[in-house]
Structure 1
Amino acid sequence: MTLTKYTKLGVVGAGSMGSMMAQLFAEAGPGVSIFDVKGDNVEIAVGLSEKNDAIKGKVKGFKDYGAFMASPPSPGHRLLVFSITHGEPADEVLDSLRPHLAKGDIILDGGNEWYQNTERRRRELKREQNVDYIGMGVSGGYQSARHGPSLSPGGDSAAIQRVMPLLEKVSAKAEDGSPCVTRIGPGGSGHYVKMVHNGIEQGMMGAVAEAWGLLRFNLGMKLDEIGEVFKQWSATPELKNTFLIDIGIDICQKRDCSLGKFGASDNENHVISTIVDKVVQDADDTEGTGTWSVAEAARLHVSSPTIAASHFLRLASADRAARLKINENLKLPAALVTPRTTLDAEAKAQLVEDVRQSVIASFLSVFAQGLQLIARQSEKEGWDVSLVSCLKIWRAGCIISSDGLSAVLADVAADFDAGASKANGSALGSATSHPKDASATIPAHTRLTRPLAATFPALRRTILWSLERNACAPTLSATLEWVKYIGAPVLPTMFMEAQLDWFGAHSFERWSSEAGSKGGIVQKGSEHYEWKPA
């Protein structure tokens, strides 16, 4: 395959991500044409590039599809990078571009798209116009889009090989200098992995936000003090260089003098003190990946409560007016604050350490849940996704990057990759319930179970402490319950099984049977009891 050297490319979408990527690509060498249905966005994007002497004159703006598509030379060798809203808006833009596309053109869709939409567009464009459509996750937000994101392209191998040299040049670089980009697999695998990445991201964000809330609202710590705690956490082996902890330092300590003395509790002008407690990007449908991750967990039968709890917390936070009305009707006790003066240094340090270990437990749990989602879908679709490769591209330039977590998860990923091709996943151990499902053993890996067991006492103490103070900690609580029930030798679900058999004759296994005593495989039981004659 002859690799293509792109001297010019087109960026479709001049929002915060697209405008940053236009500058990033321009710095890598190619000239950039940028288009957006909103003309003001184009002018802003071009204006930003003109302020950078290194790329001045290299980013050209267009407000007409025809002129835009005529600007990259050589139809059939054009590269278009999409940075547009998922779903119908992306389809509308693509329909407008179709008359201008030529055989051999490549579209890199860098938006957060539902993987089945990606696969549909890929099939249609290849069949009708012989145009390659690559679904590419772009992680790290607008700042990484400007300086180097983590990239997860999925699609035709030959097409990705053509653009890989450019992607390697613009992607984030890990500490060893290797680019944080790799071909994930065929079809919509690239966007699927990015979707799960965002599900993991939501779980991690929920855990950190709840930890911050416990320290701030229930332990009564000052913002600058919490920032110093996060700084200490980031220096520990388990949380070393964890992006979401690192930015927490800045969030806790950033001041804006124009705000005056806002935030009466501290008498300081911290920006965080001015921010309302609602997250709307999931509730208003501008972001779909969190919703899809929760739905995929249910569809693929992967227990993922850490992801789900954080997502539902965000949804509940969005409608603050409804929360205030419900609060009036519920009349719940107010959250209790432990006066800092009543705790000696040792007791306070223990509480803070318990919260840190609870965050570690949640992070490990959400990664286990997310990796199992990717593995299960890969097995189902025959994508042959490498978990090792996923972890490698998540080392830098993305929201879930963490040197500490990567060190723990490396063996889990390597053992899965080595054992996934074996019929019963025996390379991962014997704790599988699906004979042909290696993904089922990911949470059973000793590299996960050991630290989870080590952090469990602290996690339990944290949740007890939060319950006593009426604190909101759904993500941390969901993690505790998940750890408890995934490894429980006996659950109360035999009562549920009896209910199902009573009203639905769904059958069950008896303890006395071999399948019942040893666990067996995931299939319906062989016995039914006539609880009450119909």
Structure 2
Amino acid sequence: MSTTKYTKIGIVGAGSMGSMMCQLFAEAGPEVSVFDVKCGNVDTTVGMAEKNPKTKGKVKGYKDYEQFVMSLPSPGHRLLVFSITHGDPTDQVLEALRPHLAKGDIILDGGNEWYENTERRQAQLKREQNVDHIGMGVSGGYQSARHGPSISPGGDSAALKRVMPLLEKVSAKDSQGNPCVAPIGPGGSGHYVKMIHNGIEQGMMGAVAEAWGLLRFNLGCELDEISEIFEQWSNTPELKRTFLIDIGVDICQKRDPSLGKTGASDNEEHVLSTVADKVVQDADGTEGTGTWTVAEAARIHISSPTIAASHFFRLASADRTARLKIGESLNLPPPPITPRTTLGKDEKSQFVEDIRKAVYAACLASFTQGFQLIARQSQKEEWGVSLSTCLKIWRAGCIISSDGLLDVFQPVVADFDSKPGNVNGSAVGNEMAKPKDASATIPAHPHLTSELAAAMPSLRRVMLWALERDAHVPTLAASLEWIKYVGAPVLPTMFMEAELDWFGAHKFDRWDSDAGRFGGQVKKGSEHFEWSPA
């Protein structure tokens, strides 16, 4: 089916993301009908549009499903964009809308959805009503939803072709003006890529937050000074235009004179000084992607400690009551309100540089682990996802955008995509063409390993400093260990293998066998020893 010019679309969900997307789509050309089960959200969204000359009169609100759908073009030519909570809420909305849907209609699910839910809905809607359901990852938060997000749509190729012109118009644009959207692949691949994006995001956020803690609590830097440091980091080749560093510049210097004294005498009016140390987004169940990414890493057997450590750090932070109670028993010292350091000017400058390189290494680790997850799952599901496409859509409009980091991965993913069977489904049905473990080639790429090796000495020094001062660096520490063991020629896991054989007869490979010398396939060994006769 050819591409379609949509002159009017419907958006379901007018919360922080949906209300912003209403303005974004309306400015891009089509009129927008908006529906939300919370009538107040509809009124707020329409009122917002009426205040903007570019969208005035182009956004109409509806509080009834039937009237909402009737306001759209004729059956078969309707485009509905969902911006609602994953799981049951999406199923409930679909059930309410299904009597009003017709063959040829398309749904773009812009929520953070578990990819198997997306595939279930795709199959049911296609089978029963010939309606296409596209799992559309929308990255960048509500700010990008207003000005242009990174978009990862996945589903039926013909349906994707129909919506791509509009998505290209509303998506973020990279520094060359290229749209940060592209078809990801069939089925739930679009939502899967967005899920892994959020996992990479968590790893990066952990590294940056831990770096901030070292600068603030251990080096004695004031918030304005940290803002300047972050700005300098964002101008280095390695971390050039890294979104999470860039917004850190703003966060560390933002003031509100109405705040008054907060207890931090040198930062009385800084908004950051009022923010409690609790990340509840994952612990309260409102966000699933981080949890799913960690579980997915375990399920498909990809070592992802950078992502996992940051996730568990966030979970531990959420219950402040428990932390304070445990802290009383452990007698752990709190960070000083007015921190001091004995380092001289030159030593301090060098250590700040070490922290920068440590953050760089951890971010590389987080991206590598994320790319491995996408690569292995794509191979398993025969999605044919191009990692170069993922890199393309992450160039702007999303939380993990970073010119410096993504430049490092450009040759890595290009080489991966060039191998037979890794993308475009070229190995489907051809067992000989399928690589045994395509994901393993990513961390082994010399362009990546050379960067990790160069940053590793700084990461080690930061870990030693942190250990001596009880600083909180789980993400950075996990990244260092991952770099150390992911390419280690010998590991102490031989003892673990022996114990597994002792109590479970799980077998092992001998050093003098081909599997022991060269590795071979990932499969159970052929040897067993009766360590203690049963």
Q: Common fold, TM-score beyond 0.5? A: yes
Partner of 1:352: 352
Alignment-mate amino acid for residue 93 of structure 2: V
Shift of 1:476: 0.4
Equivalent residues of 1:13, 1:34 under 8 A apart = yes
Bigger mean CA offset, 261-270 vs 227-236: 261-270
Alignment-mate amino acid for residue 476 of structure 2: L
Partner of 1:288: 288
Equivalences for residues 87-236 of structure 1 within 5 A: 87-236=87-236
Equivalences for residues 13-412 of structure 1 within 5 A: 13-335=13-335, 340=340, 342-412=342-412
Partner of 1:444: 444
Alignment partners' CA distance in 2, 1:231 and 1:448: 25
Instruction: Describe the superposition over 1:407-451 as per-residue Cα deviations: whole angstroms up to 9, x where unpaired.
Output: 10001100110115279xxxxxxxxxx952111111111111101
Alignment partners' CA distance in 1, 2:395 and 2:401: 5
Shift of 1:341: 6.0
Equivalent residues of 2:375, 2:385 under 8 A apart = yes
Question: Is residue 492 of structure 1 aligned with residue 485 of structure 2?
Answer: no
Shift of 1:3: 1.6
Shift of 1:335: 4.5
Alignment-mate amino acid for residue 209 of structure 1: A
Equivalent residues of 1:336, 1:470 under 8 A apart = no
Alignment partners' CA distance in 2, 1:514 and 1:336: 56
Alignment partners' CA distance in 2, 1:185 and 1:442: 20
Instruction: Describe the superposition over 1:479-530 as per-residue Cα deviations: whole angstroms up to 9, x where unpaired.
Output: 0110011111111101000000001101001111121111222111111001
Alignment partners' CA distance in 2, 1:286 and 1:341: 40
Alignment-mate amino acid for residue 499 of structure 1: E
Alignment-mate amino acid for residue 229 of structure 2: V
Q: TM-score, normalised by structure 2?
A: 0.96
Equivalent residues of 2:218, 2:341 under 8 A apart = no
Alignment partners' CA distance in 2, 1:329 and 1:420: 57
Alignment partners' CA distance in 2, 1:141 and 1:339: 34
Alignment-mate amino acid for residue 174 of structure 1: D
Instruction: Describe the superposition over 1:158-207 as per-residue Cα deviations: whole angstroms up to 9, x where unpaired.
Output: 00100110000000001111100000000000000000000000100010
State the Cα RMSD in Å.
Answer: 1.4
Equivalent residues of 1:335, 1:469 under 8 A apart = no
Query: Residues 320 and 337 from structure 1, CA distance in 2 versus in 1: closer, same or farther, beyond 3 angstroms?
Result: closer
Instruction: Describe the superposition over 1:79-131 as per-residue Cα deviations: whole angstroms up to 9, x where unpaired.
Output: 00000000011101111111111111000000000000000000000000000
Query: Residues 467 and 341 from structure 1, CA distance in 2 versus in 1: closer, same or farther, beyond 3 angstroms?
Result: closer
Alignment-mate amino acid for residue 496 of structure 1: M
Instruction: Describe the superposition over 1:442-475 as per-residue Cα deviations: whole angstroms up to 9, x where unpaired.
Output: 1111111101100111001101101111011100
Query: Residues 88 and 157 from structure 1, CA distance in 2 versus in 1: closer, same or farther, beyond 3 angstroms?
Result: same
Equivalent residues of 2:207, 2:476 under 8 A apart = yes
Alignment partners' CA distance in 2, 1:173 and 1:148: 8
Shift of 1:261: 3.4
**Which aligned runs of 4 or more in structure 1 are off by greater than 3 angstroms?**
333-341
Alignment partners' CA distance in 1, 2:86 and 2:38: 17
Q: Which secondary structure does the structure 2 equivalent of 1:266 belong to?
A: helix
Alignment partners' CA distance in 1, 2:409 and 2:73: 45
Alignment partners' CA distance in 1, 2:293 and 2:96: 30
Shift of 1:336: 6.9
Shift of 1:337: 8.9
In structure 2, the gaps of 5 or more residues are 424-433
Q: Which secondary structure does the structure 1 equivalent of 2:68 belong to?
A: helix
Aligned length: 524
Alignment partners' CA distance in 1, 2:307 and 2:507: 32
Partner of 2:506: 506
Partner of 1:426: none
Shift of 1:268: 2.8
Question: Is residue 530 of structure 1 aligned with residue 524 of structure 2?
Answer: no
Query: Residues 8 and 292 from structure 1, CA distance in 2 versus in 1: closer, same or farther, beyond 3 angstroms?
Result: same
Q: Which secondary structure does the structure 2 equivalent of 1:237 belong to?
A: coil
Alignment partners' CA distance in 2, 1:514 and 1:68: 66
In structure 1, the gaps of 5 or more residues are 424-433
Equivalent residues of 1:113, 1:191 under 8 A apart = yes
Equivalent residues of 1:263, 1:270 under 8 A apart = no
Partner of 1:431: none
Alignment partners' CA distance in 1, 2:229 and 2:447: 26
Alignment partners' CA distance in 2, 1:338 and 1:255: 19
Equivalent residues of 2:379, 2:422 under 8 A apart = no
Query: Residues 336 and 523 from structure 1, CA distance in 2 versus in 1: closer, same or farther, beyond 3 angstroms?
Result: farther
Alignment-mate amino acid for residue 68 of structure 1: F
Alignment partners' CA distance in 2, 1:41 and 1:306: 38
Percent sequence identity is 75
Alignment partners' CA distance in 1, 2:285 and 2:247: 26
Q: Which secondary structure does the structure 1 equivalent of 2:60 belong to?
A: strand
Alignment partners' CA distance in 2, 1:462 and 1:183: 41
Alignment-mate amino acid for residue 271 of structure 2: V
Shift of 1:266: 0.9
Alignment partners' CA distance in 1, 2:453 and 2:420: 26
Equivalent residues of 1:334, 1:470 under 8 A apart = no
Alignment partners' CA distance in 1, 2:370 and 2:101: 37
Bigger mean CA offset, 300-309 vs 437-446: 437-446
